[in-house]
């Protein structure tokens, strides 16, 4: 663990229960803009991506809820959570009985948040600090992605990765609250949830959110 990143996460988050996941407790932030500013101050870098790891986004919550309600999807399997953020999906996969769970992130603060949240929920998640989107799923049997289509570039890269994973035999699930850059072709609906969200993050108080499977 990067101790500096771990200390930063501990200093700027607090324990919280995600609205549709009463089984879990996560270390989350209150104000995205304050956290973003503090992150730039801590790193001495202006123009960083938003600190996605400080929040349990609607797509991740819905996907985590689905796994907890349908543990057979991951039970006993090798699981990869892509662009894991705070780690909510990876943690739910562990709680649902996955044999091995890896959560990938490119942000050291996110990797530290995944490790902290996994420890709080008494599960073991491997936090991999690496950009894997140009490669393959490395033998994962189930690949998960929560709320990853928030801009055109990210959607293009992550969907390419997910399609390669599916072609290699992995089951691929995506949680998405209606982001503009998620194409519907080749997806089938598994479940829908209404997820309460913060107005600081979204344009409404409740986001209708879908769990999709990539055919």
Q: Decide: 211 and 175 in contact? Cβ < 8 Å.
A: yes
* Structural domain harbouring 203: 3-214
Average pLDDT, the chain: 96
Q: How confident is the model at residue 1 (pLDDT cuts 50, 70, 90)?
A: low
**Which residues is 191 bridged to in the sheet?**
211
Q: Decide: 156 and 162 in contact? Cβ < 8 Å.
A: no
The tokens describing 130, both together, are: 């690496």
pLDDT of res. 3: 79
In 3D space, the residue among 145, 147, 118, 144 whose CA is nearest the CA of residue 58 turns out to be: 147
pLDDT of res. 167: 97
Which domain CATH number covers 207?
Answer: 3.40.50.150
Q: Beta-carbon neighbour count of residue 204 at 10 Å?
A: 10
β-pairing, 14-16 with 26-28?
antiparallel
pLDDT of res. 118: 98
Q: Beta-carbon neighbour count of residue 73 at 10 Å?
A: 20
β-pairing, 142-146 with 100-105?
unpaired
pTM above 0.85, yes or no: yes
Q: Decide: 113 and 27 in contact? Cβ < 8 Å.
A: yes
- Tens-place pLDDT, residues 40-80: 999 988 888 889 999 999 999 999 999 999 999 999 999 99
Q: Decide: 60 and 146 in contact? Cβ < 8 Å.
A: yes
pLDDT of res. 27: 98
Q: Decide: 63 and 87 in contact? Cβ < 8 Å.
A: no
Whether residue 23 is predicted with pLDDT greater than 70 in this model: the reply is yes
> Could you give the number of structural domains in the chain?
1
């Amino acid at each position: 663990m990067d101790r500096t990143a771990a200390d930063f996460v501990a200093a700027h988050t607090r324990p919280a229960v995600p609205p549709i996941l009463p089984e879990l407790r996560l270390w989350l932030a209150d104000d995205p803009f304050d956290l973003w500013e503090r992150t730039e101050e801590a790193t001495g870098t202006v123009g960083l991506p938003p600190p996605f790891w400080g929040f349990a986004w609607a797509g991740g919550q819905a996907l985590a809820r689905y796994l907890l309600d349908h543990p057979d999807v991951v039970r006993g399997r090798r699981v990869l959570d892509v662009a894991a953020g705070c780690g909510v999906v990876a943690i739910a996969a562990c709680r649902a009985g996955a044999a091995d769970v890896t959560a990938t992130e490119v942000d050291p603060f996110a990797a530290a948040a995944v490790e902290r949240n996994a420890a709080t929920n008494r599960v073991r998640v491997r936090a991999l600090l690496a950009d894997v989107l140009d490669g393959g799923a490395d033998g994962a049997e189930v690949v998960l992605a929560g709320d990853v289509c928030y801009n055109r570039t990210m959607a293009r890269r992550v969907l390419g990765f997910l399609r390669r994973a599916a072609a290699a035999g992995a089951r691929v699930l995506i949680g998405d609250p209606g982001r503009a850059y998620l194409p519907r072709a080749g997806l089938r609906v598994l479940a829908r949830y209404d997820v309460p969200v913060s107005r600081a993050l979204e344009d409404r108080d409740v986001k209708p959110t879908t769990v999709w499977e990539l055919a």
